[in-house]
Amino acid sequence: MKSGRNGSAWVVCLLILVILTGAAYAAENYSFEIENPGAHASSPLPHPDHRFTENGPVLVFFYNTNCADCIKTHPYVLEYIRTHPELEAHLIDIGASSEKRELFTIYKDAFRTGFIPVPAVFVGNATLVGYEEITLHLEDAVRVQAPGSMGPVTHSSSFFFPIGDVTAQDLTIPLVITAGLADGINPCAFSVLIILLFTLAAAGSRRKMVVVGAGFIGAVFVFYFLSGMGLFYLIQSAAISRAIGIIAALIAFALGIVSLYDGIRGDGKPALAIPESKKGIIDRYIQKGSVPAALILGVLVGMFELPCTGGIYLAILSLISNQMTLAEGIPLLFVYNIFFVMPLVLILCAVVLGLPLERVDRWRQEHRGAVRILMGLVLIGLGLLLAGTLIAG
């Protein structure tokens, strides 16, 4: 009981540290909050139908205060607007409110851009995305759409680079799938599902094995999916995605080293596992062998196996929260969690179709070290990728 209390206290302390670190970082970077310069400081939100004035194209800059590229792009755009006071300009922080995130979606729909991340500039009929494109081509985009020029530009203009059929979201999907699968082969959920199936097999009901097993997997999926949505919303609404990114990179790298050590060592109790103090609760629900118990069991496993899986999930959430809104990120979270539970689905199907449980359990034990090494490599890779993204900013 004492070890259980100590474990709970450790988790609470870690959460407090994360929150305080994020709050401190947000406070330190409060000066990044952008004012709409000049006469537009109190102007209402723009609309994509209003693209030109008599003085030239309307400029709308969408950004996020925790986005690395936005931090690089912001000074350039702000200085450009200050040196061109004749332009109507709007600077919109999509992290400030759901209304502004929705406005970004409205602009993307109106300009038919498909998925694009921030920073993004809509100027007249042109769209510029990313630090390099904005800093290199904003001047040209305004100049050719100025009164008396060749006229408003179209999406085929040389300085507009449409994403086309290959979107940033498409390029992110392979990473999300790989991370979800690596997260899903963790030994924690494997062990619980196999023990649950052993218990059900003793009852001799294949139908009950399917229903209860599916209930367990469904509960794990729903818990992780909803948890991811909640964390994503918290990170963006609190404007601490960059701070969380730094913490996530450190956690992923550290857990990756620990997982590698566990895998290479090959014997003894692994450091990344469901706490011993929680296994009694799990065993009680396994023995019940009912659908309601399986649903509760799925949620409990989702809560208790965070030492096994939390690093990968947090790293992925940090990566995508820096690039898109919650509405845009939900499909990626869904894909991640589908592949997260895929190994459990395959195990259940294999056992129901006749594969002996003993063989499945033997495979799990024989390859436990390799699985931990794979998880360690994925964690380290995600940590380095996330750190590189933040450093580049």
> What's the total number of domains in the chain?
2
Do 55 and 202 reside in the same domain of the chain?
no
Of 143, 177, 198, the residue at which a domain comes to its end is 143
Contact in structure between 254 and 271 (CB atoms under 8 Å): no
Mean per-residue pLDDT, 260-267: 75
Average pLDDT, the chain: 74
217 and 125 within one domain = no
Residue 19 covered by a domain:
no
> Are 34 and 87 contained in the same domain?
yes
Do the domain assignments include residue 3? no
Q: Which backbone phi and psi does 90 adopt, to 5 degrees?
A: -135, 135
Q: Are residues 386 and 297 located together in one domain of the fold?
A: yes
Q: Give the pLDDT confidence score for residue 292 in this predicted structure.
A: 85
Say whether both 86 and 211 belong to one domain.
no
In a domain, 361, yes or no: yes
Do 110 and 49 contact (CB within 8 A), yes or no? yes
| Low-confidence winner among 34-48, 69-83, 177-191, 241-255 (lowest mean pLDDT) | 34-48
CA–CA dist 313, 327 (Å, integer): 18
| Contact between residue 48 and residue 105 where contact means Cβ atoms under 8 Å apart | no
Structure tokens at 231: 């964390």
Query: Which residue has tokens 């118990």?
Result: 293
User: Are residues 105 and 174 part of one domain?
Assistant: no
Domain final residue, candidates 143, 158, 185: 143
What pLDDT sits at residue 14? 47
Tokens for 13?
A: 């302390």
pLDDT of residue 61: 96
Q: In the structure encoding, which two tokens stand for residue 390, read together?
A: 């933040």
Same domain, 231 and 121: no
- Residue 202 CB contacts under 8 Å (≥ 6 apart), including other chains: none
pLDDT computed for residue 266 by the predictor: 67
DSSP 159-178: T----TTS-HHHHHHHHHHH
DSSP character at residue 111 = T
Determine the structural domain holding residue 51 and report its residue range. 30-143
165 pLDDT more than 70: no
Question: Between 108 and 374, whose confidence is greater?
Answer: 108
Is 6 within the bounds of a domain? no
User: Does residue 125 form part of some domain?
Assistant: yes
Examine the domain organization and report whether 99 and 185 are in the same domain: no
Q: 246 and 346: one domain?
A: yes
Asked if the structure places residue 346 within a domain, the reply is yes
The two beta strands, 89-93 and 52-53, are unpaired
Domain boundary among 111, 143, 175: 143
Q: Are residues 44 and 193 in the same domain?
A: no
151 domain-assigned: no
Residue 310 is assigned to a structural domain of this protein: yes
Q: Which residues lie across from 57 on neighbouring strands? A: 52
Does 211 share its domain with 133? Answer: no
Separation of alpha carbons 258 and 373, rounded Å: 9
State whether 252 and 103 are in the same domain: no
pTM of this prediction? 0.58
CATH number at residue 111: 3.40.30.10
